[in-house]
Structure 1
Amino acid sequence: MKRSGPLYTLLAGLLLAAVMLSLNATTGTRSSGYGGGGAASASPAPDPAAPPGRTPAPKVPSASAAPTAPAPSASAPERVYAGRTDDDGAAVSVSVRDRRAVAYYCDGRTRESWLKGDVKDDGSMRLTGRNGAELTAVTRAGEITGEVAVAGRRQDFTAAGANRPSGLYRATNEVRGARIDGGWIVLQDGRQVGIVTRDGKPSAAPVLDPATGTAVVDNARLTARPVAP
């Protein structure tokens, strides 16, 4: 019985050592699963396409571009044409803007007519005036060619582009109780053709100063303005 005491002591010590080793192993396993150095908390691998030492910028989805509202279309510029009939008996001027046209036919003595109408997409036009006056023409290569009929007489004409002071002018006013209506065509070479009507009676128009737009009628100064549709 005396010899079995140390044996029991040795066995108890071995059993205690085994229990301690088991506890240490369990504690180490739990620490490795929840600690900062375990596989679950490992940092993600860097983007292989990114340069060494730089962190790639986060990708931001591109926003779709907002639709742009169309700009309002500007009014078409005015174009003025001036010329003479093929028989050189009269002058014709046409002013065009935004598919509208106004024309003036004048022989510088007694025959005149104001006409107006629309311009089609192909540049053709048919303008009409009082007493059956009519102008049919088409715009091509910077000039207008056509035919004008006034007071039963038909005449072909050609009118080229005109820049001010050339062009078409008109003045209306009352002078000494008389109604005055004047029209002038200033050709590209400076020549003028015009008629002033006093209470319905036509006569040759006085010279118009294109720089000031004025003319003297019956000792009174009359102001004429460029004509636009």
Structure 2
Amino acid sequence: MTRLGPVYTLAAGAVMAVALGVASATTSPATRTVNAQDDARPVDAQDDAPATPARAATEASPTPEVVKTARPTPAKADYAGRVTGNGGLIAVSVRNGKAVGYFCDGRIEAWMKGRAADGKVTLSGRGDASLTARLSGGVAAGTLGFGGRKWSFKAPTVKKPSGLYRATALVRGADVRAGWIYLDDGTRVGLTLVGDEVADVPIPEPGENAVVDGVEVDPRDVDEFIEEF
């Protein structure tokens, strides 16, 4: 009988060794090769940047542009009234941005011209004659300068036959220039110059002609003379 006992013993030991090796392999923790870049988390540039408020909160609201509104200026208007503390009358007429003015107290006179814009009239005349006035609420209110002095005035709007009239003519070889102001209450004033001398010429009734040295002179209203003034 062959003796196989030791052989079986060795085989059994070999099998046991293999089994233990397998068990060791299955129970050991798994290992992996780790690349340094695997743990490197990309850092967003904004992570380290200081926190900034929302753009809408930090941007200042634009300052609204200031728009100037022009004051209304009548295209056509006639004003006439009294000069305070002077005794004379003043008349101002506006036609499409152009303006004329006349001051008279029966002894002296001043014709002025200029512009009307932004609710204001600015006029000037021979010598130092000047006038500035605001046009508001149907009234021209301002200051008249003449002969080195200044006076205030308020002149309401008037309708024909009240208002300002002017006449120019050649009478018997002499230049005639005249001006008249009529108020709604019937007050009137005027001055007629023949050459450079004041002439004694009665103020005509509204709508009638003046008579200068026996010759009739036709007063013209503002619409008839403003373009040539």
> What TM-score does the superposition give when structure 2 sets the normalisation length?
0.62
Contact residue 182 and residue 205 of structure 1 kept, 8 A: no
Does 2:168 match 1:167? Answer: no
Match of residue 113, structure 1, among 107, 110, 115: 110
The two structures, once aligned, show a CA RMSD in angstroms of: 1.5
Q: Who is 1:182 aligned against? A: 178
3-state SS of 1:119 partner: strand
- Report the alpha carbon displacement of residue 180 of structure 1 after superposing the two structures with TM: 0.5
Contact residue 85 and residue 92 of structure 1 kept, 8 A: yes
Contact residue 115 and residue 122 of structure 2 kept, 8 A: yes
The 5 A counterparts of 1:59-138 are 77-109=75-107, 111-121=108-118, 123-138=119-134
What amino acid is aligned across from residue 151 of structure 2 in structure 1? Answer: Q
Q: Who is 2:215 aligned against? A: 220
Aligned residues: 151
What residue ranges of structure 2 are gaps of 5+ in the alignment?
A: 1-73
Contact residue 135 and residue 149 of structure 1 kept, 8 A: yes
3-state SS of 2:127 partner: helix
What residue ranges of structure 1 are gaps of 5+ in the alignment?
A: 1-75
Deviations, residues 31-84 of structure 1 (Å, cap 9, x unaligned) = xxxxxxxxxxxxxxxxxxxxxxxxxxxxxxxxxxxxxxxxxxxxx752111001
Contact residue 125 and residue 136 of structure 1 kept, 8 A: yes
Does 2:198 match 1:202? Answer: yes
Higher relative contact order (CA 8 A, sep 6+): 1
- Report the alpha carbon displacement of residue 119 of structure 1 after superposing the two structures with TM: 1.2
What amino acid is aligned across from residue 225 of structure 1 in structure 2? Answer: R
> What TM-score does the superposition give when structure 1 sets the normalisation length?
0.62
Q: Distance in 2 between matches of 1:185 and 1:204?
A: 17
Q: Distance in 1 between matches of 2:191 and 2:159?
A: 21
Q: Structure 1: which 4+ aligned runs deviate by more than 6 Å?
A: none
Q: Distance in 2 between matches of 1:181 and 1:114?
A: 11
Q: Who is 1:44 aligned against? A: none
- Report the alpha carbon displacement of residue 209 of structure 1 after superposing the two structures with TM: 2.5
The higher radius of gyration belongs to: 2
Distance 1:193 1:204, change over 3 A: farther
- Report the alpha carbon displacement of residue 202 of structure 1 after superposing the two structures with TM: 2.5
Contact residue 80 and residue 96 of structure 1 kept, 8 A: yes
Q: Distance in 2 between matches of 1:146 and 1:112?
A: 18
